[in-house]
Structure 1
Amino acid sequence: MAEKDNLSRENMNKEKLAAEEQVEAQDQEINNDKSAENQEASSEQVKGENGSSEELSVEQKLQAENQELKDKYLRLYSEFENYRRRTSKERLDLIKTASEGVLKDLIPAVDDFERAIKAEEKAEGNEKSLEGSLLIYNKLIKILESKGLVPMKDLIGNNFDADTQEAITQIPAPSEEMKGKVIDVVEKGYMLGDKVVRYAKVVIGS
């Protein structure tokens, strides 16, 4: 009887141990599943953070490239504008310089024309010839003026200007007001735009 009781207790203890071991195994399995889920969630979080970081760096890179392209465009535009202005100015200067030589060589011919007209005015019976000479002279002067060559006007009675005039002599001034001023013009001066092509030769009062 005692032996049966001992066997019964041993069987109960074994069943109890087996049940406890089964419960522990189930708990361990649950813990393993939770650990795996936590690891997976952590991995996804890290992956998401890395992906956001990569996207941010790409955006910053594109912004930097865009800014660099804008700077290059502004520099090129500025250089092109400077080049365009410089070439335009050089072209205008070249045109002026090219015509200056020809116009300057025509001035002595104009002087001779004016002397011939004065001689015709003094001579009698040359009205027809004088009229024709004046027509040709006025036409020539208009052509020269259209090219920018103009004579210096209204010099007599004004102060002497060394920038545009050349004093060839001095004579006693007819009045106090005429001292240091132009009394007579011996040879006309000419301007081409803002440039003096030929200085006016004048007589000033002293």
Structure 2
Amino acid sequence: MSEKDIKKEQENTELEDNTANTEENNGQEQAEETVEETGSETKAEAELAEMKDKYIRLMAEFENFRRRTAKERMDLLKTANEDLMSELLPVLDDMERARQSMEATKDVDAMLQGLELVFHKLKHVTQLKGLKPIVINAGDDFDSDLHEAVTQIPAPSEELKGKIVDVIEKGYTLNEKVIRFAKVIIGA
């Protein structure tokens, strides 16, 4: 073999060694990347499991809140009028006593005074709870937000055309909300 051939062979051997080293290094890097990927995948899976657990707990907590709120609302609806009824019980007792005294006495003036007292007591209790009558006079303008036109009659005078002529039934508001519209007759 000539010196050239020996040099070429040495170069080839060095090249093969370098290639082998490079492949070995690449294999190690790939193995490290696989280990890193596996580590990051398990970390991601752990985070995902943790998030799922939090989600499930949050949904359960919300469902419990919804049920509790619905139950509280039903309890409130059942006892909403308790305060009003407690306030009306003395009026009911007074009405019972008035009825008993009407059977026993023939004095009309005394019965009227007793009924008047009971009526004022009832009116006072309802006003305390926010019930107010809608004040309407003949000749007032018709307002569809407060009044319900039952019928129209020929206006007694030219001034009452399109205006309220008579009130059939009082209207009421409860804390500024109309709970019964006033039934009125309008002049045509």
Per the normalisation by structure 1, the TM-score is: 0.44
Larger Rg: 1
